Amino acid sequence: MAEFMDLESQDAVRMPWNVLPGTKQEAANCVVPIASIYTPLKPFPNMPVLPYSPLRCRNCRSALNPFSIVDFLSKIWICPFCLHRNHFPPHYHSISDDNLPAELFPQYTTIEYESPSEKSAVPPVFMFVVDTCMIEEEIGFLKSALSQAVGLVPENSLVGLITFGTHVHVHELGFGQIPKVYVFKGSKELTKDQVLEQMNFFMKKPKPSAGVIAGVRDGLSQETIARFLLPASECEFALNSVLEELQKDPWPVSADQRATRCTGMALSVAAHLLGACVPGSGARIMAFVGGPSTEGPGAIVSKIMSEPIRSHKDLDKDSAPYYHKAVKFYGGLSKLLVHQGHVLDLFACALDQVGVAEVKIAVERTGGLVVLAESFGHSVFKDSFRRIFQSGDYDLGLSSNGVFEVNCSKDVKVQGVIGPCASLEKKGPLCSETVVGQGNTTAWKMCGLDKA
Ligand SMILES: [Zn+2]
C-alpha cells in the first residue's frame, strides 16, 4: 500500500495497478482495468519551478524527463516514448553526467515549468448572472453575498453583471452617471453578432467584414470592453448601487403559472459578451438561479403550473418533452465556452427543481462548480461562495485554461478521460477504438480546474 501512497505524493497519480501487463493475454485477464486518477494541481511543497520552457521531442512532443536516455558525448537524448533521437539545443551544451538540468534528476518525475513569456497578463474575469424571479427575501440574501464577493476578488479582476427574469438585462457598469442597461427579449435566441450589434459594439468602429471579434487584439478597443467589464476596485460603487436598486422581476405572474425565467438566454448573452471581450482568458460565468427556466432556449418546463417538472422517472422513460431540446442547447453553449476557454459555475438555490440535469453538460465540460442549496441565505451557499474567493491554506486554488495531454509508448492505447474536461479532438495512433468517457483524442481542454 505504501508504494501507492508514495507514487501519489510524488506524481499525483493513483493507479489500481502499479505494474502494466506485459502481454495482451495478461491485459485481458485484468479484472480491474488499467486506469489512473490524476490530480493536475496537487500541491507539492518541494516541487522545483524551472524558469524556462520544457524541451520537447521533435517527433511526439513529449518533454525531456528522467527516463530519457542521454548521450552526453554526442549531446543527444532518446525519447522514451517514441525512441526518436533528439539533439540538445545550444544552451544545454554544458550538460554532463555530473551537471544535469533539474528535469533529468531521477526524483523529479513531475516538474513545473514557468517560462517568462507565458505569464498571463489578463486578470481573472467574473461575470455575475443573477436571476430576479425570486421573493424579495432571497434577492436580499443574494445581494449581500454578491457585494461581499466584489470586496473579496483580486482588485484588478474584471467584473460584469447581467440580471434576468422575463428579459435579460446587461448592465453597463462603466457608464458612470446613471445606471444603464441593454435589454434582450428572453424568448428568442440571438447570434453573437446580433448581441454585439444591439449593445452598440460597432457604433464608433464598424464591424470588420471578415473574421471574428476577439478582444483587444482583434477589433475591440479597451474602451468598449470597459463599458461592461471593469476592474473590481473601480466598479464597486456602480455595482453596489445597481444591486441596491435590484428588484424582483416586475412582470406579473398569475397564481396558476410559473415565473417567466429565461436562464438559457441570459447565459448565452453572457457567453457571447465574454467571447467578444476576453476570449482565451480565465473568465467565469457565475449563474445564480432561483428556479426552473421556463422561457426561450434551454427551458425545462412550461409556464403552466399544472404541468409538473420532469421527474427521474420521466427522464428514465424518455418522456420529458423539454429535456432533449434543452440538453442540445446547453451542449452548444458548452462547446462555445470551451472554445473561448471560459467556465460556467451554477449556484442553484430553490426548494423546487431548477434543471441542473440539463445544464450539467456545460458546467462539467468547462470544469465549473455547482452549489445546490434551498436558499441563498443558507450557510451551504454562503460558505461555498466565500470559499471561491478567499485565499489561504484552504482555498480552492482556482485556475483556468489548462490543456491535459497524454503521451505513451506504442503498446499502450488511450481509451478516454472521465472528468471535468472537454475533448480537443487530437486523434492519432495512440487512441483506442474502445472509448471510455471522452475518447478518440489524446488531448483535453480544462477551462477551469482546482486543487482538489
Ligand atoms: Zn518522442
Pairing of strands 85-87, 112-113: unpaired
For residues 92 and 75, the answer to whether their CB atoms sit within 8 Å is yes
- Confidence (pLDDT) at 119: 65
Distance 109 CA to ligand 1 centre (A): 16
Q: Is pLDDT at 108 greater than 80 in this prediction?
A: yes
Distance 81 CA to ligand 1 centre (A): 5
For residues 88 and 76, the answer to whether their CB atoms sit within 8 Å is yes
Q: How far is CA 280 from CA 35, 115, 121, 125, in A?
A: 31, 18, 12, 11
Distance 102 CA to ligand 1 centre (A): 19
* pLDDT tens sequence across 44-91: 888 889 999 999 999 989 999 999 999 998 999 999 999 999 999 998
For residues 160 and 127, the answer to whether their CB atoms sit within 8 Å is yes
Q: In terms of pLDDT, which residue wins out, 19 or 272?
A: 272
- The stretch 191-208 carries a mean pLDDT of 79
**How does the average pLDDT of the chain come out, rounded?**
88
CB atoms within 10 A of CB 245: 9
Q: What percent of the chain has pLDDT over 70?
A: 94
- The stretch 212-232 carries a mean pLDDT of 78
* pLDDT tens sequence across 371-412: 999 999 999 999 999 888 877 666 677 888 889 999 988 888
Distance 245 CA to ligand 1 centre (A): 60
- Confidence (pLDDT) at 205: 66
- The stretch 32-39 carries a mean pLDDT of 89
Q: Is pLDDT at 347 greater than 90 in this prediction?
A: yes
Q: In terms of pLDDT, which residue wins out, 214 or 138?
A: 138
pLDDT band at residue 233 under the 50/70/90 scheme? confident
- Confidence (pLDDT) at 116: 77
Distance 86 CA to ligand 1 centre (A): 8
For residues 38 and 10, the answer to whether their CB atoms sit within 8 Å is no
CA–CA distance, 371 with 373 (Å, rounded to integer)? 7
pLDDT band at residue 218 under the 50/70/90 scheme? low
Distance 409 CA to ligand 1 centre (A): 9
Q: How far is CA 142 from CA 10, 151, 152, 168, 350, in A?
A: 42, 14, 15, 18, 12
Pairing of strands 399-405, 370-373: unpaired
Q: In terms of pLDDT, which residue wins out, 435 or 201?
A: 435
Q: Is pLDDT at 211 greater than 80 in this prediction?
A: no
CA–CA distance, 422 with 405 (Å, rounded to integer)? 12
Distance 429 CA to ligand 1 centre (A): 13
- Confidence (pLDDT) at 168: 95
Structural element, H or E, at residue 226: helix 222-228
**Complex-level ipTM:** 0.98
Distance 408 CA to ligand 1 centre (A): 9
CA–CA distance, 282 with 446 (Å, rounded to integer)? 11
- Confidence (pLDDT) at 67: 93
Closest CA to 133 of 6, 241, 294: 294
Q: Which residues contact 114 (CB under 8 A, 6 or more apart)?
A: 49, 50, 51
Distance 77 CA to ligand 1 centre (A): 10
Q: Is pLDDT at 208 greater than 70 in this prediction?
A: no
Chain centroid offset of residue 90 CA = 39
Q: In terms of pLDDT, which residue wins out, 285 or 25?
A: 285
Report the range of poorest mean pLDDT among 199-213, 282-296, 379-393. 199-213
CA–CA distance, 9 with 276 (Å, rounded to integer)? 41
For residues 361 and 330, the answer to whether their CB atoms sit within 8 Å is yes
Distance from first CA to last CA of the chain, Å, rounded? 22
Distance 33 CA to ligand 1 centre (A): 26
CA–CA distance, 216 with 379 (Å, rounded to integer)? 40
Q: Is pLDDT at 348 greater than 60 in this prediction?
A: yes
Q: Which domains does the chain have, with CATH numbers?
A: 1-43 (no CATH), 48-119 (2.30.30.380), 125-389 (3.40.50.410), 398-452 (no CATH)
